Structure 1
Amino acid sequence: MASLRRVAVATSSTAIRLFSFVFLRWIPGHLFGPIVFTSLAVYLSSLFSLLSGDETTQRESKKNQKSSARLSKDLGANQPRDSALKTLLTGLPSRRSRLWTWTTGLINVVLALLTLDFLVRGLVAYPSNDVSFSRIGFVSPTTANLLFREPDSSQLPVVVSYQEVTTISPEKWIREGTVYKLENETDFTATVTLKNLKPSTHYRYSLSNNKSGTFTTSARPGSPEANRLSFVTSSCLKPNFPYNILSHPLRVPGIEQLTEAIGKLPALLRPAFMLFLGDFVYIDVPFRFGSSVSHYRSEYRRIYSSPSWNAKSEAGSAIDLPWIHTLDDHEIENDWSKGNKTAPYPAAADPFIHYHVSANPPVPAASFAHPDDVTYFSFVNGPASFFMLDTRTYRSEPAKEDSTILGYAQLQSLLAYLSTPEPAGVYWKIIASSVPFTKNWHVGTTDTWGGFLNERRTVFEAMWRAERELGARIILLSGDRHEFAATRFPDPALGLTSDELQPNTAGFGLHEFSVGPLSMFYLPIRTYRQTDPEDVSVKYAPDGNSKFGLIDIADDVEDDPTAPEHVPVRSSVLTYSLYVDGEVVWKYRLSVPHFKNTKSHFKPGNVVEDKLVTESWGVVVKTTIGRIEELAHFVVEKATDLYDAAIVLYQGM
């Protein structure tokens, strides 16, 4: 019995240290917290039992010398070598020093308390009911959507004004409107559209509750300024992760790194907006504390209460950057695929609509649904048009013959968008999806477009046709995976050779850039790889707690891809820069010639810069672990299928 207590102490101590490290520094999985707390209970009870001894055993030891010797051995009396290192590493008590014993026990208690702190300090200490903030959402050449929250009724009415920022003398303030009433129905938020603005102009706005900020309107279509556009994109953020006890529990390091990186850019490259592709909040990570409207709203309020929004650079703060949003699963529930009527979706949609949809771009002109029921968006900015998909609200169960990720109305709207020619000067159609199009990820594949391959094929065929017939180049942007991957999907009509379809090569095809997280855990194992010529891998970069992409589109001069000799032509050139932990590590370039007779002969993409290590012993180990995880998922899926088949067979007997 005594030896079992020693095993219990050592095992539970190891579990506390291992799982608390994983939980706080690697991945905040919802199972790890309970494991740590359960292990602590086992550890403390076993430790005290081991130190005090069993009373029954002590009485028997007086009558039985053999039992007494066994007890002494259990307590460590017969162990001549008892080092501090052994005690501190194993959690076992020391016979030589009570200090070492209590120190090793204290280590485990502190680790459990840190786990508890990460779980509840932000939730309990920062309900953020009184948070007041303002931000800019979608900006057009003549309008800007201004969202603000003000729960303090003494600040009402809120007067909204703006002025043009000039270097000569301040322009007069223009009053846009007055908000007299803010209610709990919208969680005390309101959206005001600033109108009659000038294109490509820097503005300052001011609210009577002392909130203010700046923004720049987009370029007038057809103007020289409309030839250029820069913006950033990412997904997924969680405050104070990796965990730091010295940090504010609502601090978001990725926002601070984004702010610093943007501040280092020359003015010409500074982004016009952030295209955020889902998981702005994590309602169920590390643990779901409720599914009511109030719980979902509180998560949004906490993010907007983060001190990281106050971080400054030469380009200003991140809150001054216009943010536009798509929806993903952790704003509802992990791997959500149950539509927009099933709980908890209605509760989750409430704050998403008030905090994000209300300030987002307009819905597509051909939405095939009532505008009030649409959560997908479309807009044009400079040389690019955008379609922001909602891949959660309308999806059905994946991996079925008739599975849909978009729903009928959204699919028809996307197909109409793809088949519509763009106005002069617009060379890019950019499709934003919260989940990746590629099926090259081999864990969690069905939660992505890989679980909806029939619909994906329909969409791809429309995209290939648009590139051939309209001359617009299609770019796919996505998030969700906490990793970066660039993938291309070659049009079968191109008839590419096997060499042109090899893994890890630049080349022809639709291009997808999937990036995340902006501030969250990353997966230290490799689960992305090419398995067929449909999805050709270009680059894979899983490491880094903060990742985002900077997309810059500008006019440049390139060689005509159809000419036998070097003939310079003007082209619209897109450069994708991958930032990992605040530094540029990879760049990729694509282009579209301005004249239309080369519309079916786009130049292949090419790598401009690559600082990423692709081969090392660490990569080999992580790839091997990823394959083991793939195998485990495969075994579990097959076992589940066999079980379901057996149940059906039994019920039919």
Structure 2
Amino acid sequence: MYSLILISLLITLQSLFVRLVSSGWSPLANLLSIQIRSLAYLFLRWIPAHHLPIAIPSIFAFYCLAWSRHHSQLKNSYLEEQPDDDEDEEEEEEDDIRHDGPSTSSSDPSTNQPAPSTSKDTPPPSISKSKKNKKSKANILQPAPIDPTASTETDSLILKPPSSNKKIHGSQRAKKNRNQPSSHPIKSFFKSIVGLSTSNTSANKFTLLVNTIMTLFCFDATFRTTVFDGQEDLSFSRVGAVGETWVKVHARIPPITTHPSSPEEEVQEPAPVGAQLVYRPMKPIGNWIMGPTLIPTNRTDWNTIGKIENLIPGNAYEYRLNLLESVKEPHPFFDAVGHFQTAPDSSNLSNPKADGGSFTFAYSSCIKPGFPYNPFRNQLHNDGAEQLAEMARKLKLDFVLFLGDFIYIDSPIYLGNSIHHYWRKYRQSFSTPGWRKLIQFTRTIHIYDDHEIYNDWAGNGNDTNEIFEPANKAYRDYLGEGNFDGPGKGENYYWFRYGDAAFFVWDCRRYRSSNEQLDDQFKTMLGHEQKQVFLSWLDAVNTTVTFKFVVSSTPFMSLWLGPDGGVDTWAGFLTERSELMDVMQFVPNLIVLSGDRHEFAAASIRETVVEFSTSPLNQFWLPVRTLSQENGLGKTGEDKLLKYIPNGIHKFSTLNVDCRDPKKPVVNFQLYIDDELSWELKYEGKPVKEEPKQLGQLLPTWDQFLNLIKRPIRWFSDSDARPPSLTPSFPDEPTSEPLLEASSEDHEPHQPPENLPRPIDDEL
């Protein structure tokens, strides 16, 4: 409401200003027309901002008023000249009658004489144009002077010929009308393309038509997916979290509705809602085994989770959904067979040929179906997911991590906090052809960010907030329940292990303090409990797992600024970040994965922690650069930029974790932008000291943890008291065993400079 009032006020002031400095309506119509086309293009192809669906129709309404007034002025100007043309034609007709037609006279031939003409020296009476316009045809017919000496029986009426001055004046006026200023057809056409008014009424009508179509496109992009396209009949199944001996299968199973094929046929009772989950091993292929029964309800928008247990580690399976209590009869909504593979056996990772020694996963964030807008395509198209699905099939990805903004509840407009609005957005994201292809090839695990709730959301730990409560429930219905279980019921942060790598996924929205709060020891993004659990996790995996991945929905580096980059990222929570880094810098082979900024950047933090931030998968990017080495802690050297690539609306990254050689563990990072390999990096890790063990066996008690956190350096041996340095990654002269080195392949224009990449902002 406030946005509408502000936009209307700005347009009104703009209109008054143009009218004051201009004598006509054409400049105002031109200004508003250019604004409509510029903002419509910006909204449809660049940024689907939530203010534009209000601004564009408001401007269009003012434009229609200005266009109609300008059109009326052109029409009136043309009509003002029409009486003069008619008068000239009448004068010419009377002139013909005067010279060629017979005169009216008496029967006496003596009186049939031409009327005496006026003297040459006597000028004819002049008639002003204003007076002529008030006279009728009687002005043309005047009684001729009568000779008093003539003898007549009847007075005669002689047509008075038009004066020579009148005739010349009329012809000049006709010539003036013929030479009215008019735009050349080609010039008028180009003005219409730009959106400018002309003196050609046909061109102006074409301009109005184009602006109307542009506004209707904006209405279509705003309301088709927000109000009308509910996708209530959506059905799908996907694989979520996978353990060594278990798997979670998430499915949406709407009611089966049957309609009579003829009026005489009786309406059948609706079939029971639900499905039977069955599965079988692939190597060797076995018989179908009855799994859990899936019974969804409308309280979860027909979503349900089935957990299959007692599986074999590292084994491949296939599954399908059948009718209730049926092993062989497929459910009509699910004709395809799904596949999954359990996590590798962590107790056998010392075997170089173990399946868990090498695996590949991908990650990204931020998707908006239907962007960029194309009226001739499916309005739920998702080209980024199409590209990721093709890569998942090609590389046989083990899983995909999605780091938030799976929906945009506030874009293009926010309709309120009803859970049905959130459910609709999730149905639309799962309905995109690209995402449906992706979940056929690989499993997906998620965490939310702000746009699943509201832009720049800060929950402050208030779970009963009128916005967070329905948003969180919708998230858990569609994504959260399919993830790994958190430490408590309803918690959205979690951790898991896959092969010789451990993952901790932060919840950066539920417990965070307000972005505007003073950055001190009381300001937090994780909240006290989540932070303590994370630090305990670091202690557990420090020397038991080779690679550690910390997943943050918002960037951990402090190099972003911009409108909200300095407050909504960890750059606005530097006190807490410093507290975490005091521990993280001593953990070997720690990599942070983040998203949110619709750009790509790689950075090292305190020369030990490496961060890759990748987004969006299908959203806009800005030509304005918001990241720099001079921002945040980059000026102190704590954060060092490795690579910055802002361009591209489809970005995702793949990471191949290869620990088959325990002495030379490697992570191969590859960045894909708009379906092309744009940059890659080879991260050579350090070997860990101890053999991998079960994660749960190493979690200390709270008292032990509190003692450890007071003296974090003692967590490590004397040789590890000094943090591993990333300096060899960016040497002036190459070293024999770099910890982090760029790929030697050339991928212009994003090739690092010679002598390996240094922390410079070469893209700014």
TM class, shorter-length = 0.7 to 0.9
Q: Write the deviation string for residues 33-89 of structure 1: whole angstroms up to 9, x where unpaired.
A: 222212221222211221122999999999998xx9xxxx9xx95356572244314
Count of residues in Structure 1 that have an aligned counterpart in Structure 2: 557
Q: Which residue of 1 aligns with 2:620?
A: 521
Question: 5 Å matches for 1:508-587?
Answer: 508-531=607-630, 532=635, 533-555=637-659, 570-587=663-680
- Following the alignment from structure 2 to structure 1, what is the Cα–Cα distance between the partners of residues 653 and 541? 27
8 Å contact from structure 2 (residues 240, 482) kept in 1: yes
Q: Write the deviation string for residues 345-395 of structure 1: whole angstroms up to 9, x where unpaired.
A: 1010011111111110122xxx4xxx1142110111001101000000011
1:374 to 491, 494, 501: 491
- Following the alignment from structure 1 to structure 2, what is the Cα–Cα distance between the partners of residues 196 and 56? 86
1:111 aligns with 2:214: yes
1:463 aligns with 2:584: yes
- SS of the equivalent of 2:610 reads strand
1:137 aligns with 2:237: no
1:228 to 352, 358, 374: 358
Q: Write the deviation string for residues 305-339 of structure 1: whole angstroms up to 9, x where unpaired.
A: 2222344xxxxx43441111111000001001133
Identity of aligned residues (%): 31
- Following the alignment from structure 1 to structure 2, what is the Cα–Cα distance between the partners of residues 333 and 30? 12
Residues 412 and 349 of structure 1: CA distance in aligned 2, closer, same or farther (over 3 Å):
same
8 Å contact from structure 1 (residues 229, 383) kept in 2: no
Q: Which residue of 2 aligns with 1:497?
A: none
1:417 aligns with 2:506: no
Q: Which residue of 1 aligns with 2:321?
A: 207
1:335 to 415, 434, 456: 456
8 Å contact from structure 2 (residues 541, 548) kept in 1: no
8 Å contact from structure 2 (residues 238, 439) kept in 1: no
Q: Which residue of 1 aligns with 2:371?
A: 241
Please state how far the C-alpha of 1:610 moved relative to its aligned partner: 5.4
Q: Which residue of 2 aligns with 1:489?
A: 605
8 Å contact from structure 2 (residues 402, 445) kept in 1: yes
Please state how far the C-alpha of 1:155 moved relative to its aligned partner: 4.9
> Which segments of structure 1 move beyond 6 Å, counting only runs of 4 or more?
54-65
Question: 5 Å matches for 1:399-414?
Answer: 399-400=517-518, 401=520, 402-414=522-534
Q: Write the deviation string for residues 249-280 of structure 1: whole angstroms up to 9, x where unpaired.
A: 11111110111223333xxxx32111110000
Q: Which residue of 2 aligns with 1:607?
A: 742
- Following the alignment from structure 2 to structure 1, what is the Cα–Cα distance between the partners of residues 585 and 443? 31
Q: Write the deviation string for residues 578-623 of structure 1: whole angstroms up to 9, x where unpaired.
A: 11011211111112233539765464311114525369xxxxxxxx
- Following the alignment from structure 1 to structure 2, what is the Cα–Cα distance between the partners of residues 42 and 157? 53
Letter in 1 for 2:251: F
Q: Which residue of 2 aligns with 1:171?
A: 286
Letter in 2 for 1:585: S
8 Å contact from structure 1 (residues 77, 95) kept in 2: no
Structure number with higher strand proportion: 1
- SS of the equivalent of 1:387 reads strand
Please state how far the C-alpha of 1:141 moved relative to its aligned partner: 1.5
- Following the alignment from structure 1 to structure 2, what is the Cα–Cα distance between the partners of residues 244 and 461? 49
1:17 aligns with 2:37: yes
- Following the alignment from structure 2 to structure 1, what is the Cα–Cα distance between the partners of residues 36 and 504? 47
8 Å contact from structure 1 (residues 236, 482) kept in 2: yes
> TM-score by structure 2 length?
0.69
In structure 2, list runs of 5 or more residues that go unmatched. Answer: 1-18, 84-127, 134-175, 257-270, 323-330, 349-353, 690-716, 726-737, 752-760
2:72 to 38, 52, 73: 52
Letter in 1 for 2:540: T
Q: Write the deviation string for residues 403-445 of structure 1: whole angstroms up to 9, x where unpaired.
A: 1100111011111111224575x20111001000111001111
1:254 aligns with 2:357: no
- SS of the equivalent of 1:570 reads coil
1:450 to 564, 567, 571: 571
Letter in 2 for 1:272: D
Residues 92 and 601 of structure 1: CA distance in aligned 2, closer, same or farther (over 3 Å):
closer
Letter in 2 for 1:185: R
Letter in 1 for 2:625: R
1:29 aligns with 2:49: yes
> TM-score by structure 1 length?
0.80
- Following the alignment from structure 1 to structure 2, what is the Cα–Cα distance between the partners of residues 54 and 581? 49
| 427-436 or 522-531: bigger deviation | 522-531
Please state how far the C-alpha of 1:140 moved relative to its aligned partner: 1.2
1:439 aligns with 2:558: yes
1:593 to 686, 704, 717: 686
Residues 225 and 292 of structure 1: CA distance in aligned 2, closer, same or farther (over 3 Å):
same
Q: Which residue of 2 aligns with 1:630?
A: none
- SS of the equivalent of 2:355 reads helix
Letter in 1 for 2:39: F
- Following the alignment from structure 1 to structure 2, what is the Cα–Cα distance between the partners of residues 21 and 553? 42
Letter in 1 for 2:638: E
- Which structure would you say has the larger RCO, counting Cα contacts within 8 Å and 6 or more residues apart? 1
1:39 aligns with 2:40: no
Letter in 2 for 1:356: L
Residues 3 and 487 of structure 1: CA distance in aligned 2, closer, same or farther (over 3 Å):
same
Q: Write the deviation string for residues 613-653 of structure 1: whole angstroms up to 9, x where unpaired.
A: 369xxxxxxxx9x99xxxxxxxxxxxxxxxxxxxxxxxxxx
8 Å contact from structure 1 (residues 10, 90) kept in 2: no
- Following the alignment from structure 2 to structure 1, what is the Cα–Cα distance between the partners of residues 404 and 468? 15
* Rg comparison, structure with higher value: 2
8 Å contact from structure 2 (residues 503, 550) kept in 1: yes
In structure 1, list runs of 5 or more residues that go unmatched. Answer: 312-316, 491-507, 558-568, 616-623, 628-653
Q: Write the deviation string for residues 200-226 of structure 1: whole angstroms up to 9, x where unpaired.
A: 222111111242411111111033222
8 Å contact from structure 2 (residues 389, 441) kept in 1: no
Letter in 1 for 2:340: F
- Following the alignment from structure 2 to structure 1, what is the Cα–Cα distance between the partners of residues 543 and 251? 34
Q: Which residue of 1 aligns with 2:512?
A: 395
- SS of the equivalent of 2:665 reads strand
- SS of the equivalent of 1:578 reads strand
8 Å contact from structure 2 (residues 230, 428) kept in 1: yes
| 120-129 or 12-21: bigger deviation | 120-129
Q: Write the deviation string for residues 499-530 of structure 1: whole angstroms up to 9, x where unpaired.
A: xxxxxxxxx42001011011111122211111
Question: 5 Å matches for 1:263-274?
Answer: 263-265=393-395, 270-274=396-400
1:6 aligns with 2:132: no
- Following the alignment from structure 1 to structure 2, what is the Cα–Cα distance between the partners of residues 197 and 422? 29
- SS of the equivalent of 1:219 reads coil
